[in-house]
With several copies, the nearest count.
Chain A
Amino acid sequence: MLVITLKYFGMLVEQTHTHTEKIELAANKISMNDLELQILTKYPKLSTLTYNIALNQKIVAKEALISNGDEIAFLPPFAGG
């Protein structure tokens, strides 16, 4: 079982209605890609938005594997400055 933290920012929060949540996954390994599919099932309207996903504060490839305790963040386009 994996316990991970999910974070959502900016316009994405208008679909998830939460900034952060902890979820449990009944698996020992899961790729970023598979996680994303699960999240899109939960929040279907996210698929209409543009975002990148960071694993433990780094943008990684979709094949990257998630470990217990990881933090995954959904990041809409940047607008700093």
Chain B
Amino acid sequence: MKKKNVFIQGAITPDFIANSIAKHQSKTTIGAHDIFLGQVRADEIDGKTVTAIEYTAYEEMANTKFDEIRERAFDKFELTCSHIYHSLGAVKAGELCLFVFVSSPRRKEAMKALEYLVETIKAETPIFGKEIFKDETHQWKVNS
């Protein structure tokens, strides 16, 4: 598996996702795709509304980690493909910051693999998020 760069500057667009899906239509052993999209929520915290999250990452470590997580998923589940993309920089509320895409001959394998990938990404990849409020103050996001 060649080392990939997971990071995309700014929001992930619906067109980017459509393109990724289209690329898999030549792989006719695939029966099921499962896609997870993380979208920035306009959460209200103490009366202030989140307008964007600004993402930073320890990029070298994160890319190594993403590779390792994908390899683990290939070991555990029967997968044809697996792709991960994450935003860096500002992503506005309503925009997409995470795109995890798995493909398998069988739906159950795809679903189990997607859950594993998303949970592991959240727990293990050094990505940091600054929630920016309307009044330009901020707080640091922590995954739960």
Contact = CB atoms under 8 A, between A and B. Distances in A.
Contacts of B57: 9, 80
Contacts of B121: 80-81
Given A78-B126, A80-B122, A80-B127, A54 B143 contact: no
B132 interface: no
The interface centre, meaning the residue of B38, B58, B98, B122 with most chain A CB atoms within 10 A of its CB, is B58
A79 interface: yes
Interface residues of B, number: 28
Interface string B98-129: 10000000010000000000100111111111
A80 B143 contact: yes
Interface string B61-94: 1101000000000000000000000100000000
A27 to B, nearest CB: 25
B58 A7 contact: yes
B56 interface: yes
B141 interface: yes
Interface in A48-73: 54, 57-58, 73
A7 to B, nearest CB: 7
Contacts of B127: 78-81
B61 A10 contact: no
The interface centre, meaning the residue of B124, B126, B142 with most chain A CB atoms within 10 A of its CB, is B126
B88 to A, nearest CB: 11
Interface in A15-71: 54, 57-58
Interface of B: 38, 55-58, 60-62, 64, 86, 97-98, 107, 118, 121-130, 140-143
